[in-house]
Amino acid sequence: MRRPAVMEAVARLLAASCVALAALPFAPIPAAASLVSATGTTVVIPVVAQTGSFVSEILVHSPGGTAATLSVTFHEATGSATPGSKACAPVVVQPGRVASFGLNAQCSLGPGSHFGMLEIADAASPRATLVQAYSRTSNLQGQGFSVEGYPIGVFSGAIGVVTGLRRQAAAPNYQTNCFVGALSEPIEYQITLKSNPGSATLGTPITGTLSAWQMRRVLDVFGPAGVNASAGDHSNVTAEFRQTGPGNPAYVGFCTVQESVTFGADFRIARNIQADDQTRYRSLAYGHNGSGNLTTPAQIVAAGEKNVHVSNVRPPDNLRCETVGPNAGVLEIRAMTTTGVLLGGGSNSPSAAFATGPRGAFSGAAPSIHFEVSVREGASPAYPVSYGLTCTSGNGMGWPWWWRRRSDDF
Protein backbone atom coordinates (compact mmCIF):
# COMPACT_ATOMS: atom_id res chain seq x y z
CA MET A 1 0.00 0.00 0.00
CA ARG A 2 1.37 3.38 -0.94
CA ARG A 3 1.85 5.82 1.89
CA PRO A 4 0.06 9.18 1.37
CA ALA A 5 2.39 11.75 -0.18
CA VAL A 6 2.15 14.18 2.71
CA MET A 7 3.32 11.52 5.17
CA GLU A 8 6.12 10.41 2.86
CA ALA A 9 7.18 14.04 2.73
CA VAL A 10 7.38 14.03 6.51
CA ALA A 11 9.48 10.87 6.38
CA ARG A 12 11.74 12.52 3.80
CA LEU A 13 12.25 15.56 5.95
CA LEU A 14 13.18 13.40 8.88
CA ALA A 15 15.77 11.72 6.70
CA ALA A 16 17.60 14.76 5.48
CA SER A 17 -7.77 3.96 11.94
CA CYS A 18 -27.96 -7.25 12.86
CA VAL A 19 -30.09 -8.40 12.78
CA ALA A 20 -33.09 -7.08 10.91
CA LEU A 21 -34.73 -5.76 13.98
CA ALA A 22 -38.31 -6.69 13.24
CA ALA A 23 -40.61 -8.01 15.94
CA LEU A 24 -39.39 -11.59 15.59
CA PRO A 25 -38.07 -14.04 18.20
CA PHE A 26 -34.40 -14.90 17.83
CA ALA A 27 -32.61 -18.05 18.91
CA PRO A 28 -29.49 -17.74 21.07
CA ILE A 29 -26.31 -16.99 19.11
CA PRO A 30 -22.66 -16.45 20.00
CA ALA A 31 -21.38 -13.04 21.00
CA ALA A 32 -20.19 -10.78 18.21
CA ALA A 33 -16.52 -10.73 17.32
CA SER A 34 -14.64 -8.19 19.39
CA LEU A 35 -11.26 -6.65 19.99
CA VAL A 36 -9.12 -7.71 22.90
CA SER A 37 -8.32 -4.05 23.49
CA ALA A 38 -11.98 -2.97 23.44
CA THR A 39 -11.51 0.05 25.70
CA GLY A 40 -11.73 3.77 24.98
CA THR A 41 -13.06 7.09 26.18
CA THR A 42 -15.78 6.73 23.51
CA VAL A 43 -17.22 3.35 22.51
CA VAL A 44 -19.85 2.50 19.92
CA ILE A 45 -22.26 -0.43 20.03
CA PRO A 46 -23.14 -0.89 16.33
CA VAL A 47 -26.75 -1.92 16.93
CA VAL A 48 -29.21 -1.95 19.84
CA ALA A 49 -33.00 -2.27 19.77
CA GLN A 50 -36.30 -1.57 21.48
CA THR A 51 -39.23 -3.18 19.65
CA GLY A 52 -42.51 -4.82 20.55
CA SER A 53 -40.72 -8.12 21.08
CA PHE A 54 -37.10 -7.22 21.76
CA VAL A 55 -35.25 -5.09 24.28
CA SER A 56 -31.57 -4.32 24.66
CA GLU A 57 -29.73 -4.37 27.96
CA ILE A 58 -26.44 -2.48 27.97
CA LEU A 59 -23.63 -3.10 30.44
CA VAL A 60 -20.84 -0.57 30.94
CA HIS A 61 -17.64 -0.99 32.89
CA SER A 62 -15.30 1.64 34.24
CA PRO A 63 -11.90 -0.06 34.61
CA GLY A 64 -10.26 2.97 36.21
CA GLY A 65 -9.85 3.84 39.86
CA THR A 66 -12.50 6.55 40.10
CA ALA A 67 -16.24 6.80 39.57
CA ALA A 68 -17.26 7.71 36.03
CA THR A 69 -20.22 9.64 34.66
CA LEU A 70 -20.90 8.47 31.10
CA SER A 71 -22.95 10.19 28.44
CA VAL A 72 -25.28 7.96 26.40
CA THR A 73 -26.46 8.92 22.91
CA PHE A 74 -28.81 6.79 20.79
CA HIS A 75 -28.39 7.35 17.06
CA GLU A 76 -31.63 5.88 15.74
CA ALA A 77 -31.52 4.54 12.19
CA THR A 78 -33.55 5.70 9.23
CA GLY A 79 -36.63 3.53 8.80
CA SER A 80 -36.98 3.26 12.57
CA ALA A 81 -39.83 4.86 14.52
CA THR A 82 -38.11 8.15 15.38
CA PRO A 83 -34.84 8.49 13.40
CA GLY A 84 -32.11 10.80 14.61
CA SER A 85 -29.73 11.30 17.53
CA LYS A 86 -31.14 11.34 21.06
CA ALA A 87 -29.32 12.36 24.23
CA CYS A 88 -30.20 9.79 26.89
CA ALA A 89 -29.84 10.02 30.65
CA PRO A 90 -26.21 9.73 31.80
CA VAL A 91 -24.97 6.67 33.65
CA VAL A 92 -22.80 6.71 36.77
CA VAL A 93 -20.42 3.78 37.16
CA GLN A 94 -18.52 3.19 40.38
CA PRO A 95 -14.76 2.55 40.10
CA GLY A 96 -14.00 -0.90 38.77
CA ARG A 97 -17.70 -1.80 38.67
CA VAL A 98 -20.34 -2.53 36.03
CA ALA A 99 -23.62 -0.67 35.58
CA SER A 100 -26.50 -1.92 33.44
CA PHE A 101 -29.46 -0.17 31.88
CA GLY A 102 -32.24 -0.79 29.39
CA LEU A 103 -32.32 1.16 26.15
CA ASN A 104 -35.94 2.23 26.48
CA ALA A 105 -35.73 3.46 30.07
CA GLN A 106 -32.44 5.26 29.52
CA CYS A 107 -33.52 6.99 26.32
CA SER A 108 -37.30 7.37 26.83
CA LEU A 109 -38.06 6.07 23.36
CA GLY A 110 -41.81 5.62 23.52
CA PRO A 111 -43.90 3.29 21.33
CA GLY A 112 -42.78 1.86 18.02
CA SER A 113 -39.83 -0.10 16.70
CA HIS A 114 -36.46 1.50 17.48
CA PHE A 115 -32.98 0.39 16.40
CA GLY A 116 -29.65 2.08 15.74
CA MET A 117 -26.19 2.75 17.14
CA LEU A 118 -25.38 3.58 20.74
CA GLU A 119 -22.53 5.95 21.63
CA ILE A 120 -21.20 5.80 25.20
CA ALA A 121 -18.49 8.20 26.34
CA ASP A 122 -16.87 9.89 29.31
CA ALA A 123 -19.14 12.86 30.07
CA ALA A 124 -16.23 15.06 31.13
CA SER A 125 -14.42 17.44 28.82
CA PRO A 126 -11.81 16.60 27.81
CA ARG A 127 -12.68 12.93 27.88
CA ALA A 128 -10.24 10.92 29.95
CA THR A 129 -12.10 8.08 31.71
CA LEU A 130 -11.94 4.73 29.95
CA VAL A 131 -15.09 2.77 29.14
CA GLN A 132 -15.96 -0.80 28.16
CA ALA A 133 -19.42 -1.76 26.90
CA TYR A 134 -21.44 -4.83 25.96
CA SER A 135 -25.06 -5.33 24.93
CA ARG A 136 -27.55 -8.17 24.98
CA THR A 137 -30.78 -7.93 22.98
CA SER A 138 -33.40 -10.58 23.77
CA ASN A 139 -37.11 -11.38 23.76
CA LEU A 140 -39.34 -12.38 26.69
CA GLN A 141 -38.07 -15.97 26.48
CA GLY A 142 -34.46 -14.80 26.82
CA GLN A 143 -33.58 -15.62 23.24
CA GLY A 144 -31.37 -13.07 21.58
CA PHE A 145 -27.94 -11.94 20.44
CA SER A 146 -24.92 -10.07 21.78
CA VAL A 147 -22.99 -7.14 20.35
CA GLU A 148 -19.82 -5.74 21.89
CA GLY A 149 -18.90 -2.09 22.19
CA TYR A 150 -16.00 -0.98 19.99
CA PRO A 151 -13.69 1.99 20.67
CA ILE A 152 -14.63 4.60 18.09
CA GLY A 153 -11.04 4.87 16.89
CA VAL A 154 -10.89 1.31 15.57
CA PHE A 155 -13.31 2.11 12.75
CA SER A 156 -11.91 3.46 9.50
CA GLY A 157 -12.91 4.26 5.93
CA ALA A 158 -11.16 1.22 4.55
CA ILE A 159 -12.89 -1.44 2.46
CA GLY A 160 -14.64 -3.99 4.69
CA VAL A 161 -16.14 -7.37 3.91
CA VAL A 162 -18.76 -9.64 5.46
CA THR A 163 -18.72 -13.26 4.35
CA GLY A 164 -21.07 -16.24 4.16
CA LEU A 165 -24.30 -14.37 3.39
CA ARG A 166 -27.26 -16.26 1.96
CA ARG A 167 -30.85 -16.23 0.72
CA GLN A 168 -32.93 -19.41 0.71
CA ALA A 169 -36.64 -19.75 -0.04
CA ALA A 170 -37.15 -23.22 1.46
CA ALA A 171 -37.17 -23.78 5.20
CA PRO A 172 -35.45 -22.43 7.17
CA ASN A 173 -35.95 -19.43 4.82
CA TYR A 174 -32.70 -17.52 5.18
CA GLN A 175 -32.72 -13.75 4.74
CA THR A 176 -29.77 -11.35 4.89
CA ASN A 177 -29.93 -7.72 5.98
CA CYS A 178 -27.05 -5.24 5.82
CA PHE A 179 -26.49 -2.00 7.73
CA VAL A 180 -24.19 0.95 7.14
CA GLY A 181 -23.68 3.85 9.52
CA ALA A 182 -21.74 7.09 9.60
CA LEU A 183 -19.89 8.07 12.75
CA SER A 184 -18.95 11.67 13.56
CA GLU A 185 -18.87 12.88 9.94
CA PRO A 186 -20.86 12.31 6.73
CA ILE A 187 -20.05 9.44 4.39
CA GLU A 188 -20.75 8.26 0.89
CA TYR A 189 -21.02 4.49 0.63
CA GLN A 190 -21.34 1.54 -1.68
CA ILE A 191 -22.37 -2.02 -0.79
CA THR A 192 -21.63 -4.71 -3.38
CA LEU A 193 -22.59 -8.39 -3.19
CA LYS A 194 -20.18 -10.85 -4.78
CA SER A 195 -20.57 -14.56 -5.42
CA ASN A 196 -18.09 -17.17 -4.29
CA PRO A 197 -16.24 -18.59 -6.07
CA GLY A 198 -15.70 -16.21 -8.94
CA SER A 199 -16.46 -12.88 -7.25
CA ALA A 200 -19.11 -12.01 -9.85
CA THR A 201 -21.20 -9.00 -8.81
CA LEU A 202 -24.80 -9.87 -7.93
CA GLY A 203 -27.38 -7.34 -9.02
CA THR A 204 -26.57 -3.63 -8.76
CA PRO A 205 -24.40 -2.13 -6.00
CA ILE A 206 -26.23 -0.10 -3.35
CA THR A 207 -25.04 3.48 -3.05
CA GLY A 208 -26.01 6.46 -0.95
CA THR A 209 -24.97 9.16 1.48
CA LEU A 210 -25.40 9.48 5.23
CA SER A 211 -25.07 12.45 7.54
CA ALA A 212 -23.01 12.23 10.71
CA TRP A 213 -24.34 9.54 13.06
CA GLN A 214 -26.96 8.37 10.57
CA MET A 215 -27.56 4.67 9.87
CA ARG A 216 -29.40 2.84 7.10
CA ARG A 217 -30.73 -0.72 7.20
CA VAL A 218 -31.07 -2.59 3.89
CA LEU A 219 -33.76 -5.15 4.64
CA ASP A 220 -33.35 -8.28 2.46
CA VAL A 221 -30.15 -7.12 0.77
CA PHE A 222 -30.63 -9.61 -2.10
CA GLY A 223 -34.13 -8.30 -2.87
CA PRO A 224 -35.57 -5.37 -4.88
CA ALA A 225 -34.87 -2.91 -2.06
CA GLY A 226 -31.28 -4.14 -2.00
CA VAL A 227 -29.08 -5.13 -4.93
CA ASN A 228 -32.02 -6.77 -6.77
CA ALA A 229 -30.06 -9.96 -7.42
CA SER A 230 -31.27 -12.65 -9.80
CA ALA A 231 -34.16 -14.82 -8.59
CA GLY A 232 -33.43 -17.98 -6.65
CA ASP A 233 -31.25 -18.99 -3.76
CA HIS A 234 -27.77 -17.62 -3.09
CA SER A 235 -25.20 -18.89 -0.62
CA ASN A 236 -21.65 -18.08 0.48
CA VAL A 237 -21.95 -14.50 -0.74
CA THR A 238 -19.62 -11.69 0.30
CA ALA A 239 -20.78 -8.13 0.98
CA GLU A 240 -18.13 -5.51 0.25
CA PHE A 241 -18.51 -2.12 1.96
CA ARG A 242 -16.74 0.95 0.55
CA GLN A 243 -16.61 4.55 1.70
CA THR A 244 -16.49 6.44 -1.62
CA GLY A 245 -16.51 10.10 -0.54
CA PRO A 246 -13.64 12.55 -0.03
CA GLY A 247 -11.50 12.37 3.05
CA ASN A 248 -12.20 8.68 3.64
CA PRO A 249 -14.11 9.11 6.93
CA ALA A 250 -14.77 6.14 9.18
CA TYR A 251 -17.99 4.14 9.00
CA VAL A 252 -19.70 1.10 10.56
CA GLY A 253 -20.78 -1.77 8.30
CA PHE A 254 -22.34 -5.10 9.22
CA CYS A 255 -24.84 -7.70 8.06
CA THR A 256 -27.14 -10.21 9.71
CA VAL A 257 -28.46 -13.55 8.53
CA GLN A 258 -31.79 -14.68 9.99
CA GLU A 259 -34.02 -17.69 9.44
CA SER A 260 -37.73 -18.14 9.97
CA VAL A 261 -38.06 -21.54 11.68
CA THR A 262 -36.46 -20.80 15.05
CA PHE A 263 -35.94 -17.14 14.07
CA GLY A 264 -32.25 -17.36 14.84
CA ALA A 265 -30.03 -14.48 13.72
CA ASP A 266 -26.44 -13.38 13.91
CA PHE A 267 -24.25 -10.26 13.75
CA ARG A 268 -21.33 -10.04 11.27
CA ILE A 269 -19.29 -6.87 11.32
CA ALA A 270 -17.38 -5.77 8.21
CA ARG A 271 -13.69 -6.50 8.56
CA ASN A 272 -10.90 -4.77 6.69
CA ILE A 273 -7.35 -5.68 5.71
CA GLN A 274 -5.75 -2.27 5.45
CA ALA A 275 -7.25 -0.13 8.20
CA ASP A 276 -6.03 3.33 7.18
CA ASP A 277 -3.96 3.19 10.35
CA GLN A 278 -0.24 3.95 10.28
CA THR A 279 0.27 1.63 13.24
CA ARG A 280 -1.31 -1.41 11.52
CA TYR A 281 0.00 -1.94 8.00
CA ARG A 282 -0.11 -5.47 6.69
CA SER A 283 1.71 -4.34 3.57
CA LEU A 284 3.36 -1.00 2.96
CA ALA A 285 5.50 0.83 0.42
CA TYR A 286 7.88 3.31 2.03
CA GLY A 287 9.47 5.84 -0.31
CA HIS A 288 8.11 4.32 -3.53
CA ASN A 289 4.87 3.98 -5.45
CA GLY A 290 4.31 0.29 -4.76
CA SER A 291 5.94 -0.74 -8.05
CA GLY A 292 9.51 0.06 -7.05
CA ASN A 293 9.61 3.58 -8.53
CA LEU A 294 11.08 5.86 -5.88
CA THR A 295 8.97 8.86 -4.87
CA THR A 296 10.19 10.35 -1.57
CA PRO A 297 12.92 7.87 -0.67
CA ALA A 298 15.22 7.63 2.29
CA GLN A 299 18.92 8.29 1.64
CA ILE A 300 22.24 7.13 3.02
CA VAL A 301 24.15 10.36 2.71
CA ALA A 302 27.76 9.28 3.28
CA ALA A 303 30.03 6.24 3.30
CA GLY A 304 30.36 4.49 6.65
CA GLU A 305 26.82 5.35 7.76
CA LYS A 306 23.60 3.40 8.20
CA ASN A 307 20.01 4.51 8.52
CA VAL A 308 17.84 3.24 11.36
CA HIS A 309 14.09 2.94 10.80
CA VAL A 310 11.77 2.24 13.75
CA SER A 311 8.48 0.33 13.67
CA ASN A 312 6.26 -1.25 16.29
CA VAL A 313 5.13 -4.85 15.81
CA ARG A 314 2.62 -7.13 17.56
CA PRO A 315 3.96 -10.56 18.52
CA PRO A 316 3.54 -13.31 17.69
CA ASP A 317 3.98 -12.28 14.07
CA ASN A 318 5.95 -12.90 10.89
CA LEU A 319 7.43 -9.87 9.18
CA ARG A 320 9.56 -9.04 6.17
CA CYS A 321 11.13 -5.82 4.93
CA GLU A 322 13.29 -5.46 1.82
CA THR A 323 15.10 -2.62 0.10
CA VAL A 324 13.59 -1.27 -3.12
CA GLY A 325 14.87 0.88 -5.98
CA PRO A 326 17.81 1.09 -8.41
CA ASN A 327 20.33 0.90 -5.56
CA ALA A 328 18.85 -2.19 -3.89
CA GLY A 329 21.74 -4.34 -5.18
CA VAL A 330 24.33 -2.39 -3.18
CA LEU A 331 22.32 -2.22 0.03
CA GLU A 332 21.88 -4.52 3.00
CA ILE A 333 19.22 -4.58 5.70
CA ARG A 334 18.76 -6.21 9.08
CA ALA A 335 16.09 -6.23 11.79
CA MET A 336 17.20 -5.71 15.39
CA THR A 337 15.59 -5.47 18.79
CA THR A 338 16.21 -2.25 20.68
CA THR A 339 18.64 -4.19 22.85
CA GLY A 340 20.75 -5.23 19.86
CA VAL A 341 19.52 -8.78 19.18
CA LEU A 342 19.56 -9.71 15.48
CA LEU A 343 16.13 -10.90 14.27
CA GLY A 344 16.61 -11.20 10.51
CA GLY A 345 18.67 -10.10 7.54
CA GLY A 346 22.26 -8.99 8.00
CA SER A 347 25.42 -8.43 6.02
CA ASN A 348 24.78 -8.39 2.22
CA SER A 349 21.13 -9.37 2.73
CA PRO A 350 18.53 -7.57 0.56
CA SER A 351 15.74 -8.43 3.01
CA ALA A 352 15.06 -8.99 6.68
CA ALA A 353 12.47 -11.69 7.35
CA PHE A 354 11.78 -13.04 10.81
CA ALA A 355 9.29 -14.47 13.29
CA THR A 356 9.02 -12.40 16.44
CA GLY A 357 8.36 -15.31 18.77
CA PRO A 358 5.69 -15.16 21.48
CA ARG A 359 4.44 -12.02 23.19
CA GLY A 360 6.05 -13.04 26.45
CA ALA A 361 9.48 -12.69 24.87
CA PHE A 362 8.83 -8.92 24.90
CA SER A 363 7.30 -8.71 28.38
CA GLY A 364 3.83 -8.66 26.84
CA ALA A 365 4.46 -5.48 24.87
CA ALA A 366 4.18 -4.50 21.21
CA PRO A 367 7.90 -3.75 20.88
CA SER A 368 9.82 -1.33 18.73
CA ILE A 369 11.97 -2.98 16.06
CA HIS A 370 14.90 -1.34 14.30
CA PHE A 371 15.29 -1.87 10.56
CA GLU A 372 18.85 -0.86 9.71
CA VAL A 373 19.97 -0.15 6.13
CA SER A 374 23.55 0.37 4.96
CA VAL A 375 25.78 0.01 1.89
CA ARG A 376 27.35 -3.40 1.39
CA GLU A 377 31.05 -3.77 2.06
CA GLY A 378 33.08 -3.41 -1.13
CA ALA A 379 30.40 -1.40 -2.95
CA SER A 380 31.22 2.13 -4.10
CA PRO A 381 27.96 3.83 -5.06
CA ALA A 382 27.54 7.54 -5.65
CA TYR A 383 26.24 9.26 -2.53
CA PRO A 384 23.59 9.96 -1.45
CA VAL A 385 22.16 6.45 -1.98
CA SER A 386 18.36 6.54 -2.28
CA TYR A 387 16.07 3.62 -1.49
CA GLY A 388 12.59 2.57 -0.46
CA LEU A 389 11.26 -0.27 1.64
CA THR A 390 8.53 -2.83 1.08
CA CYS A 391 7.28 -4.53 4.25
CA THR A 392 4.62 -7.10 5.13
CA SER A 393 3.17 -8.16 8.47
CA GLY A 394 0.50 -10.63 9.50
CA ASN A 395 -0.84 -8.62 12.45
CA GLY A 396 -0.11 -5.16 11.09
CA MET A 397 3.06 -3.16 11.79
CA GLY A 398 3.78 0.51 12.29
CA TRP A 399 5.10 2.77 9.56
CA PRO A 400 8.92 2.31 9.50
CA TRP A 401 9.82 5.90 10.28
CA TRP A 402 13.38 7.00 9.68
CA TRP A 403 14.87 7.55 13.12
CA ARG A 404 18.53 8.52 12.86
CA ARG A 405 21.93 7.99 11.26
CA ARG A 406 24.49 5.75 12.90
CA SER A 407 27.95 4.45 12.04
CA ASP A 408 27.75 1.37 9.84
CA ASP A 409 28.56 -1.72 11.90
CA PHE A 410 27.43 -4.60 9.71
What are the tens digits of pLDDT across the range 209-222? 999 999 999 999 99
Mean pLDDT (the chain, rounded)? 89
119 contacts 2 by C-beta, under 8 angstroms: no
Q: Report pTM.
A: 0.82
Query: Which pLDDT value is given to residue 5?
Result: 38
Closest CA to 159 of 285, 267, 275: 275
From edge to edge, which strands make up the β-sheet containing 401-407?
342-345, 331-337, 368-375, 305-312, 401-407
CATH number, span 5-14+278-407: 2.60.120.380
Higher pLDDT, 28 or 121: 121
Once rounded to an integer, what is the mean pLDDT over residues 127-153? 88
219-242 per-position pLDDT tens digit: 999 999 999 999 999 999 999 999
Mean pLDDT of 193-206: 93
Does the domain formed by 18-154 have CATH 3.30.70?
A: no
Instruction: Provide the 10 A C-beta neighbour count for residue 364.
Output: 10
pLDDT tops 90 at residue 28: no
Q: What is the pLDDT of residue 226?
A: 97
CA geometry: angle at 29 spanning 27 and 35, to 5°? 155
- Residue 275 confidence (pLDDT) above 80: no
Mean local confidence (pLDDT), 84-102:
95
Tell me, yes or no, if the two domains 5-14+278-407 and 18-154 fold the same way: yes
Place 68 in a pLDDT band, splitting at 50, 70 and 90: very high
Q: Specify the CATH superfamily of domain 155-276.
A: TM1070-like (2.60.290.11)
Is the per-residue pLDDT at 17 higher than 90? no
Query: Domain segments of the chain: what residues?
Result: 5-14+278-407, 18-154, 155-276
Tell which residue, 216, 218, 205, 208, has the closest CA to residue 252: 216
